Amino acid sequence: MQKKVIVGLSGGVDSSVAALILKKIGYKVIGLFMHNWEEKTSKCTWIEDSIDAMLVSNQLNIPFQIVEMKKEYKKYVINYMFKEYELGNTPNPDILCNREIKFNIFLKKAIDLGADFIATGHYVNKEKIIKNNKIIYRLSIGKDLNKDQSYFLCQLTQYQLKKSLFPLGLFTKNQVRKIAEKNGLCNAHKKDSQGLCFIGKIKLPEFLQKKILPKKGEVVCINSNSLIYKKKIIFSSLEEELFFLSRKRKYKKSDGKVIGYHKGAYLFTKGQRKGIAIGGYKKALFVIETDVKKNIVYTGFGNKHPGLYNKSLFIKEKDIHWIREDLALFEGEKMDVFSRIRYRQVLQKSKLHKIKKGMLIEFEIMQCAITEGQFAVWYLGKELIGSGIIS
């Protein structure tokens, strides 16, 4: 019997080629456009994107439908994003969108419509293995290392992987463009979307200020000599030291000097260079920490400032997620892995330490701008096996 797959058509070339490939190999394909966001004052292109998705569906001769999901998107992605920024964290809405919208609510709607699978245009690979007489699904890096999107799917579950297809995993972006051209797809040369998932390219400060009021605060420049160890600290174990080093650094104004003002500490993130708007210095100014309660932005000169670097990070127990549950660590166990703390970062050699409070990631080399609220992910070889929210 012909298997039915519902493809999340975004109007872009990637999801369009995914639908084309699936139809050619024998699936019964249906195109679905998710109307998740509508903002008159932003460069939200949902109307143009939905038209492109409809035109591609006509070209492929597949059924097409638009589903309204604005309420769900606002509840699970936008509200979460505002809450995290108010707490001084830097969330990743694209990962939340995949976890809560595309591979959760959208998947449920597809199953209700009788679909066997959903499919997207993500550049990742999925494979099935048998371990201890049990089927296990693996999520691996895509062939195109410049487009690999495994990071954004780091919160998927075994069930979600089971029900998902990723036709582009073995292709490069150039190959996808050529397939679209060869088959005459109307969006073959359409530029890739940029910005937040389903919102598009926006000015984040303006977007956040729609709900979080601006508040003038001080920008403090921290003297690099006043950092971290002010007295000898004796730790009972390596894990205790790593946990201490992973904690958010608490600076005081006396550690530096006030050099300017800002409109809200929540608008800034660790490692940020642009947007500080304080000139007159030879070296570039970087954000090394924020204090949203006191509304202070702490900065330092140069990208080698020690305040930017950490040896370890911590993930709370409740925020640890294993795609490969069979590989999950128990308290006291360790694992050598490769990790990344942001999209497209080169994989970093590291070690997982499972402790009572959660998970520590110890890096072989110091990491720049480890940011609370972002996701850390870890791999065995090319396979992404787990992730967690940086605390």
Catalogue the active-site residues: 97, 197
The enclosing H or E element of 81 equals: helix 79-86
Token output for 258: 């006030």
The CA distance from 389 to 391, in Å, is 6
Residue type, 199: I
* Number of Cβ within a 10 Å radius of residue 313: 26
Q: Contact at 8 Å (CB) between 53 and 33? A: yes
Q: Contact at 8 Å (CB) between 352 and 329? A: yes
Token output for 378: 């870890």
**Per-residue exposure over 215-241, b if at least 16 CB sit within 10 Å of its own CB, e if not:** eebbbbbbebeebeeeeeeeeeeebeb
Regarding beta strands 375-380 and 383-389, do their DSSP bridges make them parallel or antiparallel, or are they unpaired? antiparallel
Beta bridge partners of 351: 336, 362
- Give the residue from 166, 158, 161 showing the smallest Cα distance to 322: 158
Could you tell me how many helices (H) and strands (E) the chain has, helices first?
Answer: 10, 18
The 8-class DSSP code of residue 28 comes to E
Q: Tell me the chain's radius of gyration from C-alpha atoms.
A: 23
Residues contacting residue 225 through CB under 8 Å, at least 6 positions apart: none
